Amino acid sequence: MNFLRLTALLLVMALFSAVGLEAATARHHRRHYRRTAHTYYVHKRSKKKSAAIVGGSALGGAAIGALAGGGKGAAIGALAGGGAGFAYDRATHKKVEHY
């Protein structure tokens, strides 16, 4: 019985020491970053493309609204689609490319 306890104790100590060694050797390393001057270019969307996005969204909203609720639904759908298209256009109108 005493031999079993001694063996179990040694096994537990061996497991904990292996875990302790891993934790002791896993240190945080500093990361070095180089600072360089980044060159970037901003591509802006043309007014014509912006109008096409908003108009196409309004048209799609009107079509879905007309199917769902007739003339009044088409008007509501056109407003909702135009608003969503405008929000999308303003959120994505500048494309920044880094060189």
pLDDT at 1: 60
Q: What is the pLDDT of residue 43?
A: 84
Six-digit token string for 15: 């497991």
The DSSP call for residue 37 is -
Task: Give the model's pLDDT for residue 52.
Answer: 95
Who's near 19: CB < 8 A, 6+ residues apart?
none
Predicted TM-score (pTM) of this structure:
0.57
Per-residue pLDDT of the chain (99 residues; tens, 9 = 90+): 677 777 777 676 766 665 555 555 555 566 666 777 777 778 889 999 999 999 999 999 999 999 998 889 999 999 999 999 999 999 998 888 776
- Give me the pLDDT at residue 69, please: 87
Write the CB contacts of 73 (distance below 8 Å, at least 6 apart in sequence).
65, 66, 67
